[in-house]
Amino acid sequence: MTAGILSAGSLMRAHGNRQIIDARTRHEYEAGHIPGAVWMGWEEWCNPAPAPQGSILHEAGYWGVLREAPEVWFSERLSACGVNLQAPLVVYSGGPRSRGREGRIAWMLLYLGAQDVALLDGGWPAWLEEAGRVDVAPAAPAVEGSVVTFQPHRRRSVSQISAGWRAGTTPLFVDTRSPEEFAGHMQEYLPRRGRFPGAGLVSFLSLFDCSGCYVDRDTYLRLLPMGMVGSDKVVAYCEVGVRAAVFSLLHEIYTGAIMPLCDGSLVEWAVQSRLPLQSGIPYQPSQLTAP
C-alpha cells in the first residue's frame, strides 16, 4: 500500500489507467472537473459531533473524526461513489487554497486499504495549465464492492492518545496549522484554544512552493522539528485532521515512514476539558524547527 505524487503531465499521459478523485467542494466539482473524475468530500465520511444541538461543531467541516462504522459500511459507500480501492487512484483538490482536502481523502483511502494512492501535484490549477480539458458531467461509474481492510497504524484517535497520556507515554506531536493558531490566537469558536503539549510546528502552507506544488524532499526535510527524523512516535494533527493529512502523506512519500494522523485533531481534543492544552507562549521558529 503506497502513497505517491503524480504530476499533471503524467496524469494526462496515463489518463484512463488511474481512477481520478476530485476532493474539492461539490460546487467546485460541478462547475468543472478533470474528465472521468468522481467526487468525494471528506465531510461526508465523519462522525456526527457530540455537541449540543445548534453548536457550530455540527456544521460541515467543523468535526473531523472519521466515521466509526464497520468495513462493510465503507465498502458500500465507496461503491456508491464509484471508487475501487484495488485500482490505482489519484486524488486532487484546488492546491493550497483547498486546505488539505486531497490529503484527507487520500489518507482515508489508504486507511481503508487502498493499494496505490497518488496526490496530484499542483491540483486543479496544474491540470488546467497542463491539459486544459474540463468536464462538467458527473462521473460515477458502477464498481464492484471494494474490499475494505482497516489499517489502524495510519490513525491515532484522541482516546488512544489520552490513554497513553494517562499511562505516561506520549508521541511527538506535529501541528500543521498556522503560527497564529498554534499560539492559540484563532478559532474563537472553541471553548479552549492552543496546541497539544510539547507540539512542534510545520505549517501547512510551508508544504507548498510558490507555484502551488508540493515542496521537494530536501525542502521538506528542512522543515521537520528537531528529533523527528527517524522517530516512529510522531503523530500529525491540525484543526480537524485535514491539513495534517497532507503532511502525513508527504512524510511517507519522502521518508518511507508512515506517520499516523489524529483525525479528531485539536477540535476533539479541546472540547474535552480534562485533556491538557498549551497556549500563550509566543511562536519561536528557532525553537521548533531544525536549522
Q: Cell numbers 472519521 label which residue?
A: 66
Chain-centre distance for alpha carbon 223: 18
* Cell representation of residue 10: 503524467
Mean of pLDDT values over 200-223: 95
- Report the percent of the chain where pLDDT is more than 70: 92
In the sheet that holds 172-175, the strands lie side by side as 200-201, 172-175, 234-237
Mean pLDDT of the chain: 88
Which tens digit of pLDDT belongs to each residue from 21-64?
999 999 999 999 999 999 999 999 999 988 777 788 888 888 99
Which tens digit of pLDDT belongs to each residue from 120-167?
999 999 999 988 889 998 886 667 778 999 999 999 999 998 887 777
**What pLDDT is attached to residue 204?**
97
Mean of pLDDT values over 225-241: 82
Q: Tally Cβ neighbours within 10 Å of residue 193.
A: 18
pLDDT exceeds 60 at position 193: yes
Backbone angles phi, psi at 214, to 5 degrees: -65, 145
The reported pTM is: 0.92
Residue 153, judged by CB atoms within 10 A of its CB (0-12, 13-18, 19+), counts as exposed
